[in-house]
A and B are shown apart, each in its own frame.
Chain A
Amino acid sequence: MTPAGSLLTAHDLHKSYGSTPALDGASFSIHPGEVVAVMGPSGSGKSTLLHCLAGIVTPDRGTITYAGRELSTMSDAERSALRRTEFGFVFQFGQLVPELTCVENVALPLRLSGARRKDAERTALTWMERLEVDDLGAKRPAEVSGGQGQRVAVARALASSPKVIFADEPTGALDSLNGERVLELLTEAARSANVAVVLVTHEARVAAYSDRDVTVRDGRARDLEHAV
């Protein structure tokens, strides 16, 4: 059921919201260090698939296996520890804590995992340099541009050295030039650190940064190359 060498696998997921089916037999798998684009029309179930894979939403039916462990057998506390230590997240909007400075935002996941403030902020700054936003450390999210904010969010997602980054339309609110740069930096950093990226997008130019793509239609993920 788990394809050889895959890090995260979902098999035959079903999820309904009331009478609305959001997932209807979706399967998916990703290898360490792989960048997979999840594409498909609006409302087809891309975000729902991502939320299930990340353990944020529990599917009605189907199995999700991360590094050999089935998510459904874990307690809520274990699942949230998994999200904190193994996963990173980048969304389209509003993911930074407005009261914290940018460097505090990037350091936050490390702090939540018990790192000392100084160590966490040092690591945070390394990633901010990598994302070309180290000069924004002292600013608050409201004081930086949308593109800069996304870079800070990418730095935060990478700072805790996750194994998987879940990105849902990470460039959706950016112009092409900024969006492309964010993607370039995200995929480069992920590949060099062997981080897998689940990249939800409806834009082909964004998907072109991936190693392969999976299309979701009517709640079913069609994985043309790696049928699981």
Chain B
Amino acid sequence: MSIGHTLLGLLESGPRHGYDLKRTFDEKFGHDRPLHYGQVYSTMSRLLKNGLVEVDGIESDGGPERKRYAITEAGITDVSAWLAQPEKPEPYLQSTLYTKVVLALLTGRSAADLLDAQRSEHLRLMRILTDRKRKGDLADQLICDHALFHLEADLRWLELTAARLGRLAKVVNP
């Protein structure tokens, strides 16, 4: 995910402090991986340098200085362009799993066991996500569903590959 674009987007509703940005980001998008302050700080300096945000004011109320950032016209254009640009679908052609299956076949290990173990691991994670989805709010449901559909796609590949192991073995070990 582009943290820069996301922080920029959050600024569109009005100027915010770095701390406020981090908190909002974590709350909305950072379920598993909250931002570090360092990340926010370095991202904001880059955006500042590129003219996508400007400093809207500085407060100190006794403590350390806190910059308040505002998005610029260039920043708004940048967010629009990012939102309009479709993401490149990730085909994962060089998947580690494929490599592992072929290596298992090449070295006479059980590729079927490897696939079974992977299948269980995928399902285990799918159970955790399903449980979280069941207990969560709509945002949790959408995030978990995204992960679940991807895991499901992997699983279908695992099953198809398991069904084709005999043929694959002949191709790999002619």
Q: Which residues of A contact B (CB under 8 A)?
A: 41, 184, 203-205, 207-210, 213, 215, 224
Contact = CB atoms under 8 A, between A and B. Distances in A.
**For the complex of A and B, 9 pairs with smallest distance between CB atoms:** A208-B126, A208-B130, A204-B155, A204-B152, A208-B127, A205-B152, A205-B148, A209-B130, A204-B126
Nearest to B120: A224
Contacts, number: 30
A41 B163 contact: yes
A205 B126 contact: yes
B46 interface: no
Nearest to A183: B130
User: Which of A204, A210, A213: most chain B CB closer than 10 A?
Assistant: A204
A41 B127 contact: no
Interface in B75-134: 116, 120, 122-123, 126-127, 129-130, 134
A208 B148 contact: yes
Given A41-B163, A204-B155, A224-B116, A184 B134 contact: yes
A203 B151 CA distance: 12
A204 B123 contact: yes
Contacts of B155: 204
A207 B148 CA distance: 12
A74 B122 CA distance: 41
Given A41-B159, A184-B134, A208 B116 contact: no
Contacts of B130: 205, 208-209
30 contacts: A41-B159, A41-B163, A184-B134, A203-B152, A204-B122, A204-B123, A204-B126, A204-B151, A204-B152, A204-B155, A204-B156, A205-B126, A205-B130, A205-B148, A205-B149, A205-B152, A207-B123, A207-B126, A208-B123, A208-B126, A208-B127, A208-B129, A208-B130, A208-B148, A209-B130, A210-B127, A213-B123, A215-B116, A224-B116, A224-B120
